[in-house]
């Protein structure tokens, strides 16, 4: 399979490395220090699933040098999607599928607007990973999971739809747990429910999962934030399972105690983050639909000055 990994941060690095290891024709689209490091030293992955050093990789900052591929994995930050999407057109062939890996619930809409709904699928991933440096990824927990499929309300051309099982088989062959849910909207919001509440509380408190869940006050605050995301999701049409909150807490209580969500890590380190695609999205969608979100309103106001200062 011919693959373009657009954005080689933590997520793009993990997925791209495993696909390249499995023998696929992988191109990494990167710029600046990451591009230079990949050219000079290849890609290094320190992983719970086995360390890997790809000494030579195919890398460019110009998608037109790559040409059409079978699948584009979009690994840039959610806030960068709109800006970089037009340059992905050079990667599109008649049956190319584009899979967003961003946190949040709006990336596929922005990609479809720029590239055409006939190419863009809904997608999400689950992995705990971070950049140790340009071209060097630390993956301490969670074997990568990819969920993807048709976007709600879209009708894919037959040949494009036929690519979905092909891509799924390739991902599984690379050691990536891959699912093709019938309802990608619910799947997307279930992930959002998992990452955003503990992410925003962790960012505001500067504390990892273990502390957030063990201190009664931050545990209660996280619980309220979960309820607010459930309410906003319900307002936009998500059919939540009856035990949605219970299942989220089971997952929170099993997370590595010293880790953070990527948004929390970025906000604490005063780096550009996916705050707008996550916490701001909760507040934005809540206001549009008249849903009360007092916890998110306060945490959003508290963290926003830091976001503005780092962007």
**Pairing of the two strands 52-54 and 58-60:** unpaired
Domains along the chain with CATH numbers = 2-182 (3.40.50.720), 186-310 (1.10.1040.10)
276 contact partners, CB below 8 Å, separation of at least 6: 78, 79, 307
181 contact partners, CB below 8 Å, separation of at least 6: 147, 149, 187
Q: Taking all residues of the chain, what is their mean pLDDT, rounded to a whole number?
A: 95
The Cα 145–Cα 129 span in angstroms is 12
147 contact partners, CB below 8 Å, separation of at least 6: 123, 124, 125, 126, 178, 179, 180, 181, 184, 187, 191
The Cα 283–Cα 299 span in angstroms is 10
Residue 262 has a pLDDT of: 87
Q: What is the dihedral of CA 13, 17, 18, 24, to 10 degrees?
A: 120
pTM assigned to the model? 0.87
Query: Contact at 8 Å (CB) between 120 and 112?
Result: yes
62 contact partners, CB below 8 Å, separation of at least 6: none
pLDDT at 190 over 80: yes
> Pick from 304, 239, 249, 278: which is nearest to 107 by CA?
278
Residue 231 has a pLDDT of: 98
For the stretch 207-254, pLDDT in tens is 999 999 999 999 999 999 999 999 999 999 899 999 999 999 999 999
The Cα 47–Cα 283 span in angstroms is 35
117 contact partners, CB below 8 Å, separation of at least 6: 151, 154
The Cα 38–Cα 40 span in angstroms is 6
């Amino acid at each position: 399979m011919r693959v373009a990994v657009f954005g080689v941060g933590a997520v793009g690095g993990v997925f791209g490395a495993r696909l390249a290891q499995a023998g696929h024709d992988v191109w990494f689209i990167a710029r600046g220090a990451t591009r230079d490091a990949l050219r000079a030293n290849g890609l290094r992955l320190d992983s719970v699933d086995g360390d890997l050093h790809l000494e030579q990789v195919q890398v460019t900052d110009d998608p037109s040098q790559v040409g059409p591929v079978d699948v584009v994995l979009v690994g840039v930050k959610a806030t960068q999607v709109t800006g970089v999407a037009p340059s992905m057109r050079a990667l599109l062939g008649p049956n190319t599928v584009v899979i967003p890996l961003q946190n949040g619930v709006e990336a596929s809409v922005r990609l479809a607007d720029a590239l055409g709904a006939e190419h863009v699928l809904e997608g999400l991933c689950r992995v705990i990973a971070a950049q140790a440096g340009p071209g060097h990824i630390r993956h301490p927990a969670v074997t990568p999971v990819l969920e993807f499929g048709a976007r709600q309300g879209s009708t894919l051309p037959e040949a494009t739809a036929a690519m979905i099982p092909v891509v799924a088989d390739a991902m599984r062959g690379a050691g990536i747990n891959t699912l093709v849910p019938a309802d990608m909207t619910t799947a997307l919001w279930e992930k959002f429910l998992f990452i955003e509440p503990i992410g925003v509380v962790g960012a505001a408190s500067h504390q990892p999962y273990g502390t957030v869940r063990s201190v009664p006050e931050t545990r209660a605050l996280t619980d309220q934030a979960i309820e607010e995301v459930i309410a906003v999701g319900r307002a936009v049409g998500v059919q939540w399972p009856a035990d949605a909150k219970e299942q989220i807490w089971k997952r929170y209580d099993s997370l590595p105690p010293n880790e953070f969500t990527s948004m929390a890590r970025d906000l604490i380190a005063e780096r550009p983050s996916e705050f707008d695609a996550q916490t701001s999205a909760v507040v934005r969608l809540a206001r549009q639909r008249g849903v009360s979100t007092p916890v998110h309103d306060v945490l959003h106001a508290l963290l926003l000055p830091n976001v503005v200062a780092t962007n």
